[in-house]
Amino acid sequence: MTKLLEQAVSAARNLPTEMQDDIARMMLSYAGDDERVIELSPEEEADLIEAQAEMARGEFATEAEVQTILSKYRL
């Protein structure tokens, strides 16, 4: 194990359990494990499927809509 990976694992030990599991899933995914990196709730999965369908239909926000949203969150 490299020093950097040892440092990352050491830092991860101090994180909450849920975050440790997320990191473990990502590492396993990079290592070739086919397990899903992120587990979606049924509602999140439905939202993702709908978003993918909207993209397939070419339904994207206009530049004006994007600017309106961005202007709300700019400091």
Domain ranges of the chain: 3-73
pLDDT of residue 75: 59
Q: Which residues of 26-44 are buried (b: 16+ CB within 10 A; e: fewer)?
A: eeeeeeeeeeeeeeeeeee
Rounded Cα distance, 18 and 65, in Å: 35
pLDDT of residue 37: 64
pLDDT of residue 32: 82
Instruction: Report the 10 Å Cβ neighbour count for 72.
Output: 7
pLDDT in tens, 53-64: 999 999 999 999
pLDDT in tens, 7-49: 999 999 999 999 999 899 888 888 887 666 677 889 999 999 9
